[in-house]
Amino acid sequence: MRPVKAAAAFIAATLVAGAWHITRNAVPPSFDDAWYLEISFRFFHALKLGLPAFAEEYAAAFRIKAPLVSLLPQPLYALFGPDERVAVWANLAALGAACTAVFAAGRALWPAHPRRDAIAALAAALAAVVPLLYGLSRVFFVEPVLTALVAASVWKIASARTGRREGAALGALLGLGLLAKVLFPLYLLGPVWLRRERLLPHAKTALLVAAPLAATWYAFNFPYVLGFAWSAGFGRIASDYSAAGGASSRLYGYALMLFGGALSWPLTAAGALVAACAARGGRLDDGSRLALAWAAPLAVFALGVNQEIRFAAPALPALCLLAARAAMSFQSERARGAAAALMLGAGAAVFTRQTFVVSAPDALPWCGAPSADAGWDRGALVTAAAEGGAGVAAIALEHPRLNANNLSSLAAARGLDLRFVSLGYAQSSTEAALIRLKDKNADRVIVVSGVSKEDLSDFLNRANAGVAAALASGRLPSRLRSRVQLGAGVTAAVYDLRRGM
């Protein structure tokens, strides 16, 4: 049990470092994470009104994104109040759960291996120092809980035996996985196919459990989420996250993001070296084939249109398991120890830099040392926009530190019945932006000045100037309500829109 205890201590140390990071980091949420937070806070306030109010909020949540991650922090809010930093603790716990599930999966993949506990322990420890996994655990994204559910599902798939409880457990994981992300089944296709004969007797029970659980939300939102998933995978939204060029260019770009960003070059090099030294040209064992099947979605993402690297997260523990299996294949105990130390040392060195040293702009994706800079004064802007009982405020700015999503998040945390909207995703037309204001029943418009052009994404802010000009000329009937100083040289003007415009 010595490797297991050592791995547990190693993982605990990384989680403590993650907790320290969360307590020190004041950077506001940006876009998708702020949306998850907004809905999470609305769940909390609806729960205080009773189950009918919560059920109504839950059924209409997101429409295009599954809502499980927004449910997870509710006990934390009950203890500490609804707060953007409080919510992130749920994701840190999800990372710990993912490491535990990776350990269980490792033991199930190689049940007869004489060093199965060492393989499982090393894989779990490696998962704790994969940059994409710990980076995402420090922001409010769905991937930490999705990774934990995928790892737990692979464990149950690999270890499935007879009995109704096995089918019920698989069904519960499938239902929860679908409530986490509509892509959840993709990560399990390979393992399920390899274990199809063993799983077939459990299929009916699993579906009887999974279907009602997933239907609590999908029954109201299936057409919306399916349309969004198609667009995100192959349509307009996917094109916004794609690399330039053809398939070979996308493959090369994805490889750089995966090995250089999600895993980091030091950890990739250490794992590749261990795997190369351990290779003997023999056939893969059953556990290794299952791990490769788990990792197969990486090839799908590499060749797909959407090159968003977050999608890779639930498949990365499979690479940790394969690396651990290679390290524990050496006959010499000294060689096994050296291989484990090489990979853990590489991972720990990157973890230390990405947690305590490197600033976020220069860090790996979603990594970097914590910052005390809370950005512009969102609180003052939410207060100003809410005065007079406004219901919908449109903001003519899309910036990671200030946008409709993170203003809505803060308003929802305060329990305000105020929602912020953008001028439209990547809106390029002033006319379309003005129509959107009417369609959304906006009664406030916020124009922000003083943000340098170099600090703005042209792609997301093409309609801002046109809307500001429409306000200034009177084409968009309005009245200047207040000005808010957001920071050094940055000011927001809040306009009342006149009804019947």
How does 79-101 read in b/e, with b if 16+ C-beta sit within 10 Å? eeebbbbbbbbbbbbbbbbbbbb
- 397 or 428, higher pLDDT: 397
pLDDT at 185 over 80: yes
Q: In degrees rounded to 5, what are phi and psi of residue 494? A: -105, 120
At the topology level, CATH places domain 378-497 in D-Maltodextrin-Binding Protein; domain 2 (3.40.190)
- The position carrying tokens 């969360």 is 22
Distance CA 42, CA 49 (A): 11
And the tokens for 429? 């037309």
Q: What is the DSSP string of 326-377?
A: HHTT-SSHHHHHHHHHHHHHHHHHHHHIIIIIS-GGGSSTT-S-------S-
pLDDT given for residue 279 in this prediction: 84
> Is 249 a residue whose pLDDT tops 90?
no
Residue of 303 and 85 predicted with greater confidence:
85
Distance (Å, whole) CA 25 – CA 7: 27
Give the per-residue pLDDT at 1: 62
- Measured CA to CA, the distance from residue 182 to residue 499 in angstroms comes to 40
- CA nearest to 53, candidates 420, 461, 488, 417: 417
- Does 490 have pLDDT greater than 80? yes
CB 221 within 8 A of CB 183: no
* Residue pLDDT, tens place only, 2-37: 899 999 999 999 999 999 999 999 999 999 999 999
Structure tokens at 43: 């769940």
Cα four-point dihedral sign 448, 452, 453, 458: negative
Measured CA to CA, the distance from residue 369 to residue 24 in angstroms comes to 9
Q: How confident is the model at residue 174 (pLDDT cuts 50, 70, 90)?
A: very high
* pLDDT tens digits, 379-407: 999 999 999 999 999 999 999 999 999 99
**The pLDDT of residue 243 is above 60:** no
Mean pLDDT value across residues 333-347: 97
- Global confidence as pTM: 0.94
Q: Is the pLDDT of residue 357 over 50?
A: yes
CB atoms within 10 A of CB 322: 23
Backbone angles phi, psi at 401, to 5 degrees: -90, -15
Instruction: Give the per-residue pLDDT at 454.
Output: 85
Percent of the chain residues past pLDDT 70, beyond the cut = 95
Higher per-residue pLDDT: 229 or 319 = 319
Q: Once rounded to an integer, what is the mean pLDDT over residues 143-164?
A: 93
Q: pLDDT category, 88, cuts 50, 70, 90?
A: very high
| Least reliable range by pLDDT among 92-106, 160-174, 326-340 | 160-174
Task: Work out the average pLDDT over 472-479.
Answer: 94
* pLDDT confidence tier of residue 234, bands split at 50, 70 and 90: low
3-class SS of residue 276: helix
Report the pLDDT value the prediction gives residue 163, as an integer from 0 to 100. 72
pLDDT of 230 strictly over 90: no
Please, which pLDDT band fits residue 458 given cuts at 50, 70 and 90? confident
The confidence band for 235, taking pLDDT boundaries of 50, 70 and 90, is low
How much is the average pLDDT of 229-237?
A: 62
pLDDT tens for 25-79 read 999 999 999 999 999 999 999 999 999 999 999 999 999 999 999 999 999 999 9
| Residue 463 · residue 403 · CB < 8 Å | no
Under the banding of pLDDT at 50, 70 and 90, the label for residue 101 is very high
On whether the CB atoms of residues 41 and 76 are closer than 8 A, the answer is no
Instruction: Provide the pLDDT for residue 283.
Output: 75
Computed from CA positions of residues 279, 284, 285, 291, in that sequence, does the dihedral angle turn out positive or negative? Answer: positive
Q: What is the pLDDT of residue 501?
A: 44
The pLDDT tens digits for 359-386 are 988 999 999 999 999 999 999 999 999 9
Instruction: Say whether pLDDT at 305 is over 90.
Output: no
* Between 3 and 341, the higher pLDDT residue: 341
Kindly tell me if the per-residue pLDDT of 231 is higher than 70.
no
pLDDT at 329 over 70: yes
Residues 223-233 have a mean pLDDT of 75
Domain-wise residue ranges, the chain: 2-216+225-362, 378-497
In the block, tokens 């659980």 appear at 213
Helix (H) or strand (E) holding 496: strand 490-497
With a cut of 50, say whether residue 105 has pLDDT above it: yes
Tell me, what's the pLDDT at 245?
A: 59
Instruction: DSSP letter for 182, please.
Output: T
Query: Cβ–Cβ contacts within 10 Å for residue 175, how many?
Result: 23
Q: Is the pLDDT of residue 198 over 90?
A: yes
Tell me the H-state helices in 181-305: 184-194, 196-199, 203-234, 236-240, 247-255, 265-278, 286-295, 297-303
Residue 218: the pLDDT is: 97
Angle between the 84-109 and 404-413 helix axes, to the nearest 10 degrees? 100
